[in-house]
Amino acid sequence: MRLLPRLALLSAVLIAPAVSAQQQQARPRKLGDFQSWIAATYMEGGQKVCYAFAKASRSEGPARQGVLLTVTHRPNGRDTVTMSAGYTYPRNAEVVSTVSANEMPFYTAGSTAAARDGAAVVRAFRNGREAVLRGPGANGRGMVSDIFPLAGFSGAYEAISKECPPAGGTRR
């Protein structure tokens, strides 16, 4: 019988640090500020995720909170470009990103729009001054536009690419 309390204590001692380490891994770690963009990393399922994001500098349409443009590198996918709209898109809505004269389509799910070709969007971001994303408003009412500055995007992108290099260790 004396063995059970000792096993319980041993289990608590061994499990508590693991839980604490998992909680620490989930917290983002900032890689740096790059003008309008912030680069950061965090652990997800034991694997490193790197991302860069910017807030909308201007929005046309209803007032919303948390409008962000994000580029993410995960071990199983690079150049995932998403926008958090601050409202739920109508079902099967399309969003278009315009950088200079380049128009690139995004699909939607819930309150997120995602680039159909993230690598093409990243190339455009690296050469542009601002990105304008336009899509239908909540419940399909009107159009909403969000403008994101691209100043600092290249630096933020380089930081996340260095922190999370492609599989095989080669860099772009």
Q: How far is CA 44 from the centre of its chain?
A: 13
The answer to whether position 155 is within a domain reads yes
Q: What is the pLDDT of residue 149?
A: 98
pLDDT bucket at 48, cuts 50 / 70 / 90: very high
The answer to whether position 57 is within a domain reads yes
The answer to whether position 7 is within a domain reads no
The answer to whether position 10 is within a domain reads no
The CATH number that applies at residue 144 is 2.60.40.1880
Instruction: Compute CA distances 90 → 25, 71, 94, 139, 156, whole Å.
Output: 35, 23, 9, 5, 32
Neighbours of 144 (CB within 10 A): 22
The answer to whether position 2 is within a domain reads no
**Phi, psi dihedral angles at 108 (to 5 degrees):** -125, 155
The answer to whether position 91 is within a domain reads yes
- Environment class of 99 (CB within 10 Å of its CB; exposed 0-12, middle 13-18, buried 19+): buried
Say whether pTM exceeds 0.85.
no
The closest alpha carbon to 157, from 29, 38, 49, 76, belongs to 38
* Cβ 158 vs Cβ 32: under 8 Å: no
Note down the domain range covering 51: 28-163
For 90-125, write each residue's pLDDT tens digit: 999 999 999 999 999 999 999 999 999 999 999 999
How many independent structural domains does the chain possess?
Answer: 1
The answer to whether position 170 is within a domain reads no
